[in-house]
């Protein structure tokens, strides 16, 4: 079985859940509450925010 590689976004922010990019947001203000809500509902997940402009990741909690 071959996994489909998802391309990194070129703009905006994306939620990274357990090492995989899942949801894209236009602003950081949209991504931060989404990450916090996921982490509260599912504390066992690793949730982070990927910034496409600077190509950096940060903890989403």
Say if CB 14 and CB 55 are below 8 A apart.
no
At 30 the three-state DSSP class reads helix
pLDDT digits (tens, 9 = 90+) for 2-14: 444 467 788 889 9
Q: Is the sign of the CA dihedral 5, 56, 10, 17 positive or negative?
A: positive
pLDDT digits (tens, 9 = 90+) for 38-54: 999 999 999 999 999 99
Q: Examine the pLDDT at 61 and tell me if it is beyond 70.
A: no
């Amino acid at each position: 079985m071959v996994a489909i590689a998802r391309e990194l976004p070129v703009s905006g922010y994306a939620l990274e859940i357990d090492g995989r990019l899942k949801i894209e947001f236009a602003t950081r203000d949209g991504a931060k509450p989404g990450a916090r809500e996921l982490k509260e509902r599912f504390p066992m997940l690793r949730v982070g925010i990927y910034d496409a402009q600077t190509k950096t990741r940060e903890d989403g909690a």
